[in-house]
Structure 1
Amino acid sequence: MSTAPRFSLRAAVTDSVSTGRRDEMPAAIEPEPVEPVQQSTPQRVTKNTKEAKTSRPATRQGARGITVWVEPEIYRMIKLVGLDADMTTQDVMMEAINDLLAKKGKGRIAKTR
């Protein structure tokens, strides 16, 4: 009567499935037939935004993005301000921009969504 092979953690961790390595070459696999690719006429690339269709939301149409890099602690504080006031980060930053513009005498012109 034969006994079942004993489980080896080392063998389980170092096998080809766990490591992704293949020690032996796989059997020859016949490739699936590939459908021929139809040639399409190249489309003209244009920089005119009126012709190009974007998938931007309506709230971002005509708007420009501003990127600001801050320390992680400042980022967390901005997020907390938004959570405390039930505001999005966008709304918190728009309020900050409005406050800056008012302080500099430029009026409160920044719109929220």
Structure 2
Amino acid sequence: MRMVGAKDGPPAGAGRTPVAGIVLAAGQSSRMGRDKALLQAGGVPLVVLLSRAMWLGGCRPVVVVASAQNGGAIREVLDEPFSVVTNCDEGSEPIDSLRLAVGSLPERCGGVGL
């Protein structure tokens, strides 16, 4: 599903160092009983809505951290320009997913938005 209006570069007029967007979606959803990232609002999975909002807000790149369990499903609903990093450690904490995402970012990154 290609995002309407998405472009592969920084937003128009952006001459500053880009700010990356990070979506943490590797949680186990143990209390909820189902994957929150794939819940839908208006027929669109939340992980897609969050990723699009970050992109439209000027974040470049947008990285989604998925779990080994939901990574395939998240990759199915996300398309370019988003990238997915997999956190394979089921016992990890959100900070571990954040470290994975930050480690996947290009060196030239002015900050991150979560």
Identify the structure with bigger relative contact order (alpha carbons < 8 Å, sequence gap 6+).
Answer: 2
Higher Cα radius of gyration: 1
Higher strand share: 2
Give the TM-score category using the shorter length: under 0.3
Q: TM-score if structure 2 supplies the norm length? A: 0.22
